[in-house]
Protein backbone atom coordinates (compact mmCIF):
# COMPACT_ATOMS: atom_id res chain seq x y z
CA UNK A 1 0.00 0.00 0.00
CA UNK A 2 1.33 3.43 -0.93
CA UNK A 3 1.98 5.72 2.02
CA UNK A 4 -0.07 8.89 2.26
CA UNK A 5 1.94 12.02 1.47
CA UNK A 6 2.51 14.37 4.40
CA UNK A 7 2.89 18.16 4.58
CA UNK A 8 3.90 20.25 7.59
CA UNK A 9 3.13 23.89 8.32
CA UNK A 10 5.16 25.91 10.82
CA UNK A 11 3.33 29.16 11.45
CA UNK A 12 1.09 31.32 13.61
CA UNK A 13 -2.62 30.86 14.19
CA UNK A 14 -5.74 32.64 12.97
CA UNK A 15 -8.83 31.93 15.07
CA UNK A 16 -11.05 33.30 12.29
CA UNK A 17 -9.80 30.49 10.04
CA UNK A 18 -8.77 32.48 6.98
CA UNK A 19 -5.00 32.61 7.34
CA UNK A 20 -2.11 31.03 9.21
CA UNK A 21 -2.06 27.41 10.25
CA UNK A 22 -5.81 27.07 9.88
CA UNK A 23 -5.68 28.07 6.21
CA UNK A 24 -2.67 25.84 5.61
CA UNK A 25 -4.34 22.75 7.04
CA UNK A 26 -7.52 23.39 5.05
CA UNK A 27 -5.45 23.64 1.90
CA UNK A 28 -3.47 20.46 2.63
CA UNK A 29 -6.74 18.61 3.20
CA UNK A 30 -8.30 19.85 -0.03
CA UNK A 31 -5.23 18.78 -2.00
CA UNK A 32 -5.08 15.35 -0.37
CA UNK A 33 -1.89 15.71 1.60
CA UNK A 34 -1.90 14.67 5.26
CA UNK A 35 -1.54 17.94 7.17
CA UNK A 36 0.59 18.46 10.30
CA UNK A 37 1.33 21.66 12.17
CA UNK A 38 3.79 23.32 14.51
CA UNK A 39 2.55 26.52 16.17
CA UNK A 40 5.01 29.41 16.50
CA UNK A 41 2.69 32.14 17.80
CA UNK A 42 -0.91 32.40 18.94
CA UNK A 43 -2.44 35.38 17.15
CA UNK A 44 -5.71 37.07 18.06
CA UNK A 45 -6.83 38.22 14.63
CA UNK A 46 -9.83 38.31 12.36
CA UNK A 47 -10.78 39.88 9.04
CA UNK A 48 -10.28 43.40 10.44
CA UNK A 49 -6.81 42.99 11.91
CA UNK A 50 -4.55 41.72 14.69
CA UNK A 51 -5.41 42.60 18.29
CA UNK A 52 -2.82 40.54 20.19
CA UNK A 53 0.12 38.17 19.62
CA UNK A 54 1.63 35.63 22.01
CA UNK A 55 4.86 33.92 20.96
CA UNK A 56 5.26 30.39 22.26
CA UNK A 57 8.40 29.63 24.26
CA UNK A 58 11.29 28.59 22.04
CA UNK A 59 11.60 25.33 23.97
CA UNK A 60 8.02 24.47 22.99
CA UNK A 61 8.73 25.27 19.34
CA UNK A 62 11.71 22.90 19.41
CA UNK A 63 9.73 20.18 21.15
CA UNK A 64 6.95 20.41 18.56
CA UNK A 65 9.38 20.24 15.65
CA UNK A 66 11.12 17.11 16.90
CA UNK A 67 7.89 15.50 18.08
CA UNK A 68 6.76 15.57 14.46
CA UNK A 69 10.02 14.73 12.69
CA UNK A 70 11.03 11.94 15.09
CA UNK A 71 7.80 10.08 14.40
CA UNK A 72 6.18 11.16 11.11
CA UNK A 73 7.34 11.35 7.50
CA UNK A 74 7.57 14.89 6.10
CA UNK A 75 7.42 15.10 2.31
CA UNK A 76 7.27 18.90 2.17
CA UNK A 77 7.00 21.73 4.65
CA UNK A 78 6.28 25.43 4.75
CA UNK A 79 6.88 28.26 7.14
CA UNK A 80 4.70 31.28 7.66
CA UNK A 81 4.98 33.53 10.69
CA UNK A 82 8.27 32.95 12.52
CA UNK A 83 8.53 36.11 14.57
CA UNK A 84 11.81 36.14 16.50
CA UNK A 85 15.50 35.42 15.97
CA UNK A 86 15.44 32.82 18.77
CA UNK A 87 12.71 30.93 16.92
CA UNK A 88 14.59 31.19 13.65
CA UNK A 89 17.77 29.82 15.20
CA UNK A 90 15.91 26.70 16.40
CA UNK A 91 14.22 26.37 13.04
CA UNK A 92 17.50 26.73 11.15
CA UNK A 93 19.12 23.86 13.03
CA UNK A 94 16.07 21.65 12.56
CA UNK A 95 15.84 22.44 8.84
CA UNK A 96 19.42 21.29 8.35
CA UNK A 97 18.36 17.89 9.63
CA UNK A 98 15.45 17.40 7.23
CA UNK A 99 15.51 16.62 3.53
CA UNK A 100 11.93 17.72 2.83
CA UNK A 101 11.17 20.40 0.27
CA UNK A 102 10.92 23.74 2.09
CA UNK A 103 8.57 26.53 0.99
CA UNK A 104 8.98 29.85 2.81
CA UNK A 105 6.12 32.33 2.87
CA UNK A 106 8.09 35.26 4.36
CA UNK A 107 5.21 36.57 6.45
CA UNK A 108 6.05 39.99 7.79
CA UNK A 109 2.79 41.95 7.73
CA UNK A 110 -0.82 40.78 7.89
CA UNK A 111 -3.28 41.62 5.09
CA UNK A 112 -4.65 44.26 7.47
CA UNK A 113 -1.21 45.93 7.65
CA UNK A 114 -0.36 44.76 11.16
CA UNK A 115 3.31 43.74 11.67
CA UNK A 116 3.86 40.07 12.50
CA UNK A 117 7.64 39.81 12.85
CA UNK A 118 10.35 41.67 14.74
CA UNK A 119 12.42 44.01 12.58
CA UNK A 120 15.75 42.42 13.59
CA UNK A 121 14.35 39.01 12.74
CA UNK A 122 13.73 40.08 9.15
CA UNK A 123 17.45 40.43 8.56
CA UNK A 124 18.14 37.04 10.11
CA UNK A 125 15.45 35.46 7.94
CA UNK A 126 17.02 36.86 4.78
CA UNK A 127 20.58 35.87 5.72
CA UNK A 128 20.11 32.51 7.44
CA UNK A 129 16.80 30.95 6.33
CA UNK A 130 16.32 32.05 2.72
CA UNK A 131 19.40 30.02 1.62
CA UNK A 132 17.77 26.86 3.03
CA UNK A 133 14.61 27.17 0.94
CA UNK A 134 13.40 25.18 -2.00
CA UNK A 135 11.17 28.17 -2.79
CA UNK A 136 10.50 31.57 -1.24
CA UNK A 137 7.16 33.23 -2.08
CA UNK A 138 7.19 36.97 -1.29
CA UNK A 139 4.55 39.44 -2.33
CA UNK A 140 5.83 42.77 -3.59
CA UNK A 141 6.24 44.51 -0.19
CA UNK A 142 8.05 41.45 1.16
CA UNK A 143 10.27 41.23 -1.92
CA UNK A 144 11.08 44.94 -1.56
CA UNK A 145 12.24 44.38 1.98
CA UNK A 146 14.24 41.26 1.16
CA UNK A 147 16.05 42.90 -1.77
CA UNK A 148 16.09 46.48 -0.45
CA UNK A 149 14.77 47.75 -3.79
CA UNK A 150 11.48 49.34 -4.88
CA UNK A 151 9.29 47.18 -7.13
CA UNK A 152 6.84 49.10 -9.28
CA UNK A 153 6.95 47.19 -12.57
CA UNK A 154 6.90 43.62 -13.81
CA UNK A 155 10.50 43.99 -14.92
CA UNK A 156 11.43 44.88 -11.34
CA UNK A 157 9.54 41.80 -10.13
CA UNK A 158 11.63 39.60 -12.41
CA UNK A 159 14.86 41.20 -11.22
CA UNK A 160 13.82 40.66 -7.60
CA UNK A 161 13.14 36.98 -8.24
CA UNK A 162 16.56 36.60 -9.84
CA UNK A 163 18.27 38.44 -6.99
CA UNK A 164 16.64 36.30 -4.32
CA UNK A 165 18.13 33.23 -5.98
CA UNK A 166 21.47 34.48 -7.27
CA UNK A 167 22.40 36.88 -4.44
CA UNK A 168 20.55 35.63 -1.37
CA UNK A 169 20.68 31.90 -2.12
CA UNK A 170 17.04 30.81 -2.37
CA UNK A 171 16.50 27.59 -4.26
CA UNK A 172 13.85 29.39 -6.30
CA UNK A 173 11.75 32.53 -5.92
CA UNK A 174 8.12 33.26 -6.71
CA UNK A 175 7.45 37.00 -6.63
CA UNK A 176 3.72 37.61 -6.53
CA UNK A 177 2.20 40.61 -8.28
CA UNK A 178 -1.06 41.00 -6.42
CA UNK A 179 -0.09 44.52 -5.32
CA UNK A 180 0.38 45.77 -8.90
CA UNK A 181 -2.50 47.01 -11.02
CA UNK A 182 -3.80 45.06 -13.98
CA UNK A 183 -3.87 41.30 -14.37
CA UNK A 184 -2.53 39.14 -11.55
CA UNK A 185 0.94 38.06 -12.71
CA UNK A 186 3.60 36.20 -10.74
CA UNK A 187 7.19 35.42 -11.72
CA UNK A 188 8.92 32.16 -10.81
CA UNK A 189 12.70 31.96 -11.17
CA UNK A 190 14.45 28.66 -10.46
CA UNK A 191 18.03 29.69 -11.22
CA UNK A 192 17.76 28.72 -14.87
CA UNK A 193 14.37 29.75 -16.20
CA UNK A 194 11.87 32.55 -15.60
CA UNK A 195 8.25 31.35 -15.71
CA UNK A 196 5.31 33.75 -15.98
CA UNK A 197 2.05 32.81 -14.26
CA UNK A 198 -0.93 34.92 -15.21
CA UNK A 199 -4.54 35.04 -14.09
CA UNK A 200 -7.37 37.52 -14.25
CA UNK A 201 -7.62 39.90 -11.31
CA UNK A 202 -10.71 39.16 -9.23
CA UNK A 203 -12.58 42.28 -8.11
CA UNK A 204 -13.01 41.53 -4.41
CA UNK A 205 -11.85 42.74 -1.01
CA UNK A 206 -11.87 39.17 0.30
CA UNK A 207 -8.17 38.37 0.20
CA UNK A 208 -7.54 37.39 3.82
CA UNK A 209 -5.02 34.54 3.85
CA UNK A 210 -4.23 34.40 0.15
CA UNK A 211 -0.47 34.19 0.68
CA UNK A 212 -0.85 31.40 3.22
CA UNK A 213 -3.17 29.49 0.93
CA UNK A 214 -0.95 29.89 -2.14
CA UNK A 215 2.21 28.70 -0.38
CA UNK A 216 0.35 25.87 1.35
CA UNK A 217 -0.98 24.65 -1.99
CA UNK A 218 2.54 24.62 -3.43
CA UNK A 219 3.71 22.66 -0.38
CA UNK A 220 0.91 20.13 -0.78
CA UNK A 221 1.66 19.56 -4.46
CA UNK A 222 5.39 19.23 -3.77
CA UNK A 223 4.63 16.65 -1.07
CA UNK A 224 2.80 14.63 -3.70
CA UNK A 225 5.78 14.61 -6.03
CA UNK A 226 4.99 17.40 -8.49
CA UNK A 227 7.86 19.37 -9.97
CA UNK A 228 8.29 22.88 -8.64
CA UNK A 229 6.96 24.50 -11.81
CA UNK A 230 3.94 22.21 -11.91
CA UNK A 231 3.24 22.73 -8.20
CA UNK A 232 3.29 26.51 -8.62
CA UNK A 233 1.14 26.39 -11.76
CA UNK A 234 -1.53 24.26 -10.08
CA UNK A 235 -1.41 26.40 -6.95
CA UNK A 236 -1.90 29.60 -8.95
CA UNK A 237 -5.15 28.12 -10.25
CA UNK A 238 -6.15 26.92 -6.77
CA UNK A 239 -5.69 30.32 -5.13
CA UNK A 240 -7.32 32.19 -8.02
CA UNK A 241 -10.46 30.06 -7.69
CA UNK A 242 -10.35 30.46 -3.91
CA UNK A 243 -10.40 34.24 -4.39
CA UNK A 244 -13.04 34.08 -7.15
CA UNK A 245 -15.44 32.23 -4.83
CA UNK A 246 -14.36 33.94 -1.62
CA UNK A 247 -16.66 34.33 1.36
CA UNK A 248 -18.32 37.55 2.51
CA UNK A 249 -17.58 36.86 6.15
CA UNK A 250 -16.53 39.35 8.79
CA UNK A 251 -16.36 43.13 8.73
CA UNK A 252 -12.98 43.40 7.00
CA UNK A 253 -11.14 41.50 4.29
CA UNK A 254 -13.06 38.23 4.06
CA UNK A 255 -11.43 34.81 3.69
CA UNK A 256 -10.78 32.88 0.53
CA UNK A 257 -12.75 29.73 -0.24
CA UNK A 258 -10.63 26.62 0.22
CA UNK A 259 -13.45 24.48 -1.18
CA UNK A 260 -13.56 26.37 -4.47
CA UNK A 261 -12.02 23.74 -6.73
CA UNK A 262 -14.40 20.98 -5.67
CA UNK A 263 -16.86 19.83 -8.34
CA UNK A 264 -19.73 21.29 -6.34
CA UNK A 265 -18.31 24.67 -5.39
CA UNK A 266 -19.38 26.32 -2.15
CA UNK A 267 -19.79 29.95 -3.15
CA UNK A 268 -19.71 32.95 -0.87
Q: pLDDT grade, residue 48 (50/70/90)?
A: very high
Q: Is residue 145 part of a domain?
A: yes
- pLDDT value at position 208? 92
Q: Is residue 266 part of a domain?
A: no
Q: Is residue 131 part of a domain?
A: yes
Nearest residue to 259 via CA among 32, 30, 47:
30
Q: Is residue 258 part of a domain?
A: no
Which CATH number fits the domain that encloses residue 200? 3.40.1190.20
Q: Is the pLDDT of residue 109 over 90?
A: no
- pLDDT value at position 39? 98
* Mean pLDDT score, 51-67: 97
Number of H helices, E strands in the chain: 8, 10
Q: Is residue 196 part of a domain?
A: yes
Q: Is residue 255 part of a domain?
A: no
Q: Is residue 143 part of a domain?
A: yes
Exposed, middle or buried by CB within 10 Å (0-12, 13-18, 19+), for 113?
A: exposed
pLDDT tens profile 181-194: 667 899 999 999 99
- Residues annotated as catalytic are 176, 207, 209-212
Interatomic CA distance for residues 170 and 250, integer angstroms: 36
Based on the structure, what is the number of domains in the chain? 1
- pLDDT value at position 265? 38
Interatomic CA distance for residues 24 and 29, integer angstroms: 9
Q: pLDDT grade, residue 111 (50/70/90)?
A: low
Domain hosting residue 41, numbered range: 6-244
Q: pLDDT grade, residue 264 (50/70/90)?
A: very low
Q: Is residue 70 part of a domain?
A: yes
* pTM, full prediction: 0.95
Amino acid sequence: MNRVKCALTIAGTDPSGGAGIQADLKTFQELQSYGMSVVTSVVAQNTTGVSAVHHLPVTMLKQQLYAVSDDMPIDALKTGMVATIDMMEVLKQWLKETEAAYVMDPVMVATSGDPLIEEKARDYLRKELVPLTTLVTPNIPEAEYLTGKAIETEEAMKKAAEELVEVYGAGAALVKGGHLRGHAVDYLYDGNEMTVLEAERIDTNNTHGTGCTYSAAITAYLSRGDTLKEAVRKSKYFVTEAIRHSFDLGAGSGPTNHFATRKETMKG
